[in-house]
């Protein structure tokens, strides 16, 4: 039979009180136990000697027989000097997951692109000033060339023959539908 030294909860709602018990591992948490070996009152301050009480002789006996303490009870036994507890170390606990890493990489890439664009924009005005003047001159020439073409359209000359043919066919079809 596997035996555990664990806590069994007692007390009322929001006022916990625990018994340190030796029980079969298959028994329910607050159910049947073999022996009560101490108590734990979490409502007391940490420096209060009444917070954790243990019957050290019985705990030593059950440990010698092969009882396994739970993590919380193991902490109590370590504080009492009955059992050595090694500190747990999980360096990957705080490491973000794969998707979070991907999002962070994408965010870093976007920030790098934005920084490059801002640096390029800051350097560009000094270099592009003559280019902007050339663009203004080219645009003015294009306006002058477009003006005679628009005047020709206003005089009645049309360069788009298919549009006139389509306009002439449309009333004929409408007249046939009306009959």
Q: Output the six-digit token pair for 45.
A: 């301050």
Is the CATH number of domain 3-80 3.30.1320.10?
yes
User: H-type helices in 29-97, by residue range?
Assistant: 56-65, 71-80
Distance CA 70, CA 25 (A): 11
How many CB atoms are located within 10 Å of the residue 121 CB?
A: 10
Assess whether pLDDT exceeds 80 at residue 95: yes
Assess whether pLDDT exceeds 90 at residue 130: no
pLDDT value of residue 132: 54
pLDDT value of residue 179: 46
How far is Cα of residue 56 from the mean position of the Cα atoms in its chain? 47
Assess whether pLDDT exceeds 80 at residue 115: yes
Please report, for the chain, the start and end positions of each structural domain, with discontinuous segments joined by +.
3-80, 115-155
Assess whether pLDDT exceeds 90 at residue 166: no
pLDDT tens for 37-87 read 999 999 999 999 999 999 999 999 999 999 999 999 999 999 999 988 888
3 state SS of 141: helix
Q: How confident is the model at residue 3 (pLDDT cuts 50, 70, 90)?
A: very high
3 state SS of 10: strand
- Contact status, residue 6 vs residue 62, Cβ threshold 8 Å: no
């Amino acid at each position: 039979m596997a035996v555990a030294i664990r806590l069994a909860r007692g007390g009322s709602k929001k006022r916990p009180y625990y018994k340190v018990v030796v029980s079969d591992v298959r028994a329910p948490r607050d159910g049947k136990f073999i022996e009560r070996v101490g108590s734990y009152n979490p409502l007391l301050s940490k420096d209060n000697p009444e917070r954790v009480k243990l019957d050290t002789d019985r705990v030593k006996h059950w440990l010698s027989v092969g009882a396994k303490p739970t993590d919380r009870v193991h902490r109590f036994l370590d504080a009492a000097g009955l059992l050595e507890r090694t500190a747990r170390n999980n360096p990957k606990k705080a490491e973000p997951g794969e998707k979070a890493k991907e999002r962070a990489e994408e965010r870093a890439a976007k920030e790098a692109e934005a920084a490059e664009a801002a640096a390029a924009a800051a350097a560009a005005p000094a270099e592009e000033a003559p280019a902007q003047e050339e663009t203004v001159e080219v645009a003015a020439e294009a306006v002058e060339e477009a003006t005679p073409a628009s005047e020709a359209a206003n005089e009645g000359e049309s360069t788009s023959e298919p549009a006139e043919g389509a306009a002439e066919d449309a009333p004929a079809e409408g007249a046939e539908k009306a009959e």
